[in-house]
Each structure stands twice: as structure tokens, then as C-alpha cells.
Chains A and B, each alone.
Chain A
Amino acid sequence: MDAVILARIQFAITVGFHFLFPPLTIGMSWILVWMATKYKNTESDFWRETLRFWVRLFTLSFAIGVATGITMEFQFGTNWADYSRYVGDIFGAPLAAEGLLSFFLESTFLGVLLFGWNRVSPKTIWFSTLMVAIGSSLSAFWIIVANSWMQTPAGYEIVEGRAVLVDFWAALFNPSTLPRYIHTINAALTTGAFFVLGISAWFLLKKKQVAFAKESLKMSLIIGTVAVCGQALDGHASAVQVVHTQPEKLAAMEGMFETQQGAGLLVFGWPDQDAEKTHFRMEVPYALSLLTNGDTTSEYKGLKAFPKEEWPPVLATFASFHTMVGLWSIFFAFVLVGVVLYKRKTIYENRLYLKTALVMIPLPFLANEFGWMVAEIGRQPWIVYKMLKTKEAISLTVSAEEILFSIILFTLIYALLFALWIFLLRKEIVEGPRLDEETGKAVAR
């Protein structure tokens, strides 16, 4: 296989794996802030141990996020040297800013959150939790800035064959930064909330630590509901941005080969890139036009309006996008039912709902991965949209064999990390919070 394909596979494996963890920890961190606020206000054993239980699960995931994140920062240089040379003037800055303005913040205060329980006041614990949440959310901001610039580059000029920054703010807030950032943060909140919700449901099903589980479930249901409903708005904003800035990607997302006035939305379909048409179409007429332009007449360019060598892989983009939206519909139904059951005060006893909550845990992770695939596959063949092709961006000095060798090692190590993560999560969950169920007081391990 050639080096370009291998470098892309390696990047996909390493980001794909890494991207399981930050959304979880970013989302969880805000639930932790809420719990830490309760702890600060009550100084009770109950909230202290509740917070500490979730912090244990949080740090397990955070550690893997950190470990696999280092790979990402190195990889632009190791595998994509020509990319780094071409766009480093712009792309390096958000990575450096991430380190300086957010990564220091979250890492330093996580140390306090982990080791400070016998040294600092509940107020300081609360403050450290807040700094971890702000730090990790800011971290996401800088990464989204960097990635959004690859989607919708702005604020630059090409000078002597390199992209050079000429307008810092235009590059920072390029057309896709904000919609994509809000969309990503909401996805993170959904991931964290469903994780906490599902695990709380497990405790309720087992009738263990019921008081703890009820409070945790309530908080995560509220945050999950807000996030999933918000997703309807910011997912929409994200789509509008794609309509206006990346028409090829939109056409691939919708399997749209022909240019049309007043486009519909496909509920189902099977795009065939070679035959240049989408089979088995189930379409809601005019829906795309109404949603993104508020009319039934505006024109949407089909893939055929663009040179075929600049089409993204249509089926992969289409399928990722529709699976993501399909998963969102499930999330929406799930939180809606949850809110109704909560209002009726039956949610804690409804075993069917609690079991469903358990099954839901992995789904937001999947939705995140599919969303990322839409963004990245939909941008192909470009690494920076309309500026630099992916195949022109690799490290010429690194051989295919070297990449293959590192892919194999990465795969083995990441598989091991994943297995250990699940194993240790399970162990911590089974052990549960260190609370006496009768008295609500802390117990020693």
C-alpha cells in the first residue's frame, strides 16, 4: 500500500480512538462542577463521596485521553511534514495556545482534584473542578479552531507557496468555528450525561446506593435533555454553515448528484458514486431548502456540478451523516420519555427505561465518531479545503513500512488500553461510591 493511504489509516485510528475520550470527559466535567457545587454548599459526606466516585471514572478516561492526545500533537510533524510546512504559520498557533491557555489549566487543577481531598477546603475542590471543566472546554475550542480552519480557511494569504496568516481574528473565527464548536460541546455534554445516566440506572436496577443513583440520574437527565434539544439548533447551524461554505460536502452528505431547485432531505438512500445516482431514495420534499434557506426554490448544487476528482467519498459521507442524525433521533426520544417519566415520578422504578439507559451509554460515542467522519471524509480530497490536497501533505522522508510498523503498534497498544479502560471502569462501578447506604456517611475502602 502506498504511504498516503497508510498515513491516513494511521491518522484515522489514532484520532478515532482519542476522540472517544475527550467528549466524555468534557461532558462529565460539567456534571462534576454541579456535584462539586452541592459539595461546597453542604460539605456533606454524601456529596463528597458522590463527587469522588464520578471523579474516579473521570480520571480513568482522562488519563487515556491525555496519553492518546500526545500522539495527535506529534503526528502532524511525524506523518504530515509537508502539511506542517505548508500551513504551520496558521495551524501551529491554536495548538500552542491550547497548551498554554487550557491544557496547563486542566492538568494542574486535576492534580488538586485528585490529591487535594485532605489538604484543601471544599471551596478549593469546587474551584479546581470548575477550572478542569473550563480548561477542557477551552481545549476543545482551540482544537476546533484548528480543524475548522482546515474546513473553511480564512484570514490567510499564499506567500511563496505557503499559507501565511494575515488576519488573526478572521482565522480564529473562520466561518465554521463557532457552529462546529457549539455542536461539539453539545455532543460532549450528551456523551457525559448519557454515561452518568446509564451507570446511575445500573445502580437503581441493582437497588444499590439508591440515594446516590437518584441524584446522579436526575442531574445527568437534566443536562442530557438540554444538550440533546440544543443539538437540534446547533446541528442545524452546522448544516447551514456547510450549505454556504462546502457545497461538495453537503451534496455528498445528502447523496445529491443533480443540481436542483428546492432540495429535499433523504430519510434513506444508497448513493452509488460510479453510477452517479442514489438508489432507494426516501425523500422529504423541500425539507433541505426550508430548513437551510427558509424557501422552496433556492438552488443546491449536485455533485455533478463539480469535477469528479474533487468529490468526497459519497457513500461514506452520506452514511456517516445519516447514521449520526438517526442516532440523534433516538437520543431525542429517549430524553423526552425520560422527562415524562421524571415528571410522573416513576423514572427510578421503570426497569425498562433504566435498562434502555444502560444500552444508550455507547451510542453518543458512536454519534461523535460518525460526526467526525462526516467532517473529515466530507472534506476529502482536500486536507485544507480548496488549498492543499491530502496526498500532497505527507512526510516524504517516512517510508510506507515505517508507517505500517507504527500502525500495528498503535493498534495493539490502543486495543490494550481500551480493554483496560472497560475492565477498570467496571471494577470501580461495581465497587461503587464509598457511602454507607443506611446513614449516608463515608466508609473506608
Chain B
Amino acid sequence: MTTLQIVWYILVAVLLIGYSILDGFDLGVGFWQLFAKKEEDRRRFMASIGPFWDGNEVWLLTGGGALFAAFPPVYASVFSGFYLALMLLLFALIFRAVSLEFRNHLQTPRWRKTWDVAFAVGSSLPALLFGVALGNIMRGIPLNENGDYTGTFFGLLNPFALVIGLTGFAMLITHGALWLAMRIKGEAGKKALSWAKAGWVAYLVLFIVSGVFTFAAQGQLLENYNAFPVLWVIPVLALAAIVLARVFMQKEAVLKAFLASAAGIAMQFAIVAAGIFPKFVPALNDPTLSLTAGNSSSSEYTLGAMLIITLIGLPLVLVYTVWVYRTFTGEEVAGYGDH
């Protein structure tokens, strides 16, 4: 394995973490807006993610692009192997993207209700599916010598993957509720904080269940940890972030709780990466068929060229993303959708 291969393994993970933290909160908001008591509150919830969600979703596109560029066989195997699941994800993301735009063009309650439901489904399904996909990667999938997935769609719905899927879902809705608690003033904001607390309970329970499940049935994920015990610090930090988020919720320090939640998300990915590295896609049937950072990357030349592009592009992205988040602080007073 070369340095560039390791760098790109980390960069792909960083892009996925960026996606989960950023789009994660607006996926969560998409779920919670359905529970808003008043239309006025729902409008405010939507307004809180309005300027950001599109930029957030680009993290997924860039992550997918980076995976394609840096590890083409991984991109090919995962995307074709999870075919039906990905189609489902695509349809959800399509409806999600248009429903936020469409809902504001007409005022009738029925029209809005339709798009609110579409937005909720389009947000919740991805929040669940990403975790299911990750769970399957952690568990390993059957591959043939061409790197093609040889299992079935229903094979992806195994208990371990479903538990990871639910954990991810609980994590993202907690994160989304915290975003709302941070951005929305008054009663509706208080309500969101109580949602965050409820979501947090599910998140913590499922995190522990995932851990127990891993010890009981997915021992291969512990090999790296046993070889390098220092890695245990990662799950400990993850748990600390989760607990800290709850402590801040209690103190109504919502910004800190949100940041702790973001750190928790990053740590979850770190747990997985530390468990499967250097593998990207472990082969369930025959370990030698696993796709790894070493055997599935693009050439050194391509990885180098891409790194230069990233070093130019990523800092710029961060600069104007931070600028936009700072421009749109606090709650928008004027009507959302009045664009």
C-alpha cells in the first residue's frame, strides 16, 4: 500500500463524514417537519435548512465522484451490487430535491401536505439506507473474481445491516432535531430539543446494541483493534461524544450539543474505518477477493493529480461554506419561499 492510497482512503472517509454531518441534519429535519404542530412551524423548519441543503448534498456527489476517481473497482462493485437499494435511494433523493422547491410555488394545504410527505419520505429513506449499506460493508458481501456482487437484494437486508441502518437513522434524526433546537426560537425550538432527547435514547441504545452485535457475531471487525489496542480510544471517544451531547442538551447549550453530535458522527465512521482498513469491501466468501485500498485504487499518477485538485478545491469550498453559514445565522423573519 502506498501513501497516496492511504491518503485517499482517508479523504473518501472525510467526504462521507462531511456529508453525514452536513446533509445529516437536513435529512433529520426532513423527518421531523412532519411532526410540526402548525404549518407556521413547519415553514420555519424548512426555512432553517433552505439555504444549505443543496450545498450539503454536493458532499455526497463529491464523495461518489472521489470514490469513482480514486477507487474505481470499489465504486463499480458497490454501486452495481446494491442496485435496487441505490435506485430506491435515488428516487428518494429526487423527490426530496424537488419537493422542497415545489412546495413553495402553490399555497393550497393539499399541495403542501403532499410535498411535505414526499420530503419526509425522501429524507428518512436515505437516512436509513446509508446505514444499511454501511452495515453490509462492515459485514462483508459475497464477491466473484470480477469484483461483482453475487448475492441478492434481500441478502442486503440481514439483521446486522438493519441494526446499523437503524443506528444511523437514530443518529441523524437526533442530529437534525438538535439543528432545529439551535435554529428555531420559542416553543417550536423547545419541542425540537425534546425530540432530540427522545432520539438520543434510541441512538444510545442502538449504538450499544451494534457494539454487542459486533462482539457476538462480527469478530472480524475487531482484528485491527486487537492488533493495535490504541484504536480502542476511537469507540471510547464516540461514546464520550454521545454522552456529552446529552449533557449539553440538559444544560440547553444547543450549539455545543450539536457540535458534540457532529463529533459523534465523525467517530462512528472512524470506528468502521479502523475496523475494516485497509479493506473497502470485505468479501464474505473469500477474503482474498476483498477490495482494498491497495488492490483497488487508481494509478499513483491519477491519485496524485486528484490530490492536487483537492488541495486547491477543498479549502475554497470550506471558505465559502463557512461564509454562507455565517450569513444565514439566526432565524429568517421574512417569509420562506418568498424567492
Contact = CB atoms under 8 A, between A and B. Distances in A.
Q: Do A and B come from one complex?
A: yes
Interface of A: 52, 55-56, 59-60, 63-64, 66-71, 73-74, 76-79, 81-82, 84-85, 87-93, 95-101, 103-105, 107-112, 114-120, 159, 164-166, 168, 395-398, 402, 405-406, 409, 413, 417, 420, 424, 427-428, 445
A84 B310 contact: no
A78 B299 contact: no
B333 A118 contact: yes
A165 B79 contact: no
A409 B91 contact: yes
B167 to A, nearest CB: 24
B64 A59 contact: no
A144 B146 CA distance: 29
Interface in B146-167: 146-150
Contact of B148 (A78, A81, A99): A81
Interface string B75-100: 11111110110110011011101101
A88 B298 contact: yes
B87 A112 contact: no
A89 B324 CA distance: 34
B98 A103 contact: no
A392 B326 CA distance: 50
A110 B320 CA distance: 12
B301 interface: yes
A90 B299 CA distance: 9
A116 B51 contact: yes
B69 interface: yes
B321 interface: yes
Given A101-B313, A120-B327, A71 B58 contact: no
Contact of B313 (A70, A74, A97): A97
B317 A100 contact: yes
A412 B80 CA distance: 22
B54 A118 contact: no
Nearest to A86: B72
B334 A88 contact: no
Contacts of B336: 115
A67 B93 contact: yes
Main SS at interface, chain B: helix
A92 B61 CA distance: 12
Given A111-B54, A420-B102, A427-B106, A81 B79 contact: yes
B93 A92 contact: no
A177 to B, nearest CB: 16
B324 A108 contact: yes
Nearest to B336: A115
B223 interface: no
B52 interface: yes
Closest 3 CB pairs of A and B: A88-B72, A77-B79, A92-B69
A397 B302 contact: no
Contacts of A95: 64-65, 68-69
A93 B306 contact: yes
A78 B86 contact: yes
Contact of A70 (B61, B76, B149): B61
Interface of B: 47, 50-52, 54-55, 57-58, 60-62, 64-73, 75-81, 83-84, 86-87, 90-91, 93-95, 97-98, 100-102, 105-106, 146-150, 298-299, 301-302, 305-306, 309-310, 312-314, 317, 320-321, 324, 327-328, 332-334, 336, 338-339
17 contacts: A66-B54, A81-B148, A84-B72, A84-B76, A97-B309, A99-B58, A99-B62, A107-B57, A108-B321, A111-B50, A111-B55, A119-B328, A395-B83, A395-B148, A402-B84, A424-B102, A445-B338
A257 to B, nearest CB: 39
B102 A74 contact: no
A77 B76 contact: yes
A103 B302 contact: no
Contacts of A69: 61
Contact of A100 (B97, B98, B309): B309
Contacts of B339: 52, 55-56, 59, 114-115, 117
A176 to B, nearest CB: 20
B51 A99 contact: no
A82 B147 CA distance: 10
Contacts of A110: 54
Given A92-B72, A95-B65, A96-B66, A397 B81 contact: yes
A202 to B, nearest CB: 18
A79 B76 CA distance: 9
Contacts of A93: 69, 302, 305-306, 309
A85 B297 CA distance: 10
A445 to B, nearest CB: 7
A103 B336 CA distance: 24
Contacts of A66: 54, 57, 97
A114 B80 contact: no
Given A68-B94, A73-B65, A166-B301, A115 B50 contact: yes
B55 A115 contact: no
Contacts of B61: 69-70, 73, 99, 103
B269 to A, nearest CB: 19
Contacts of B106: 424, 427
B68 A107 contact: no
Given A63-B101, A70-B90, A92-B68, A100 B83 contact: no
Given A77-B78, A82-B76, A116-B327, A63 B98 contact: yes
Contact of B298 (A55, A89, A112, A398): A89
Given A73-B61, A81-B76, A84-B75, A420 B98 contact: yes
Given A77-B80, A92-B72, A413-B94, A100 B338 contact: no
A71 B87 CA distance: 9
A67 B72 contact: no
B239 to A, nearest CB: 33
B87 A409 contact: yes
Nearest to B144: A397
Given A70-B93, A111-B54, 19 more contacts: A55-B339, A63-B98, A70-B60, A70-B90, A77-B68, A77-B80, A78-B87, A84-B72, A85-B73, A92-B67, A92-B75, A96-B306, A100-B62, A107-B57, A111-B51, A397-B80, A402-B84, A417-B94, A417-B98
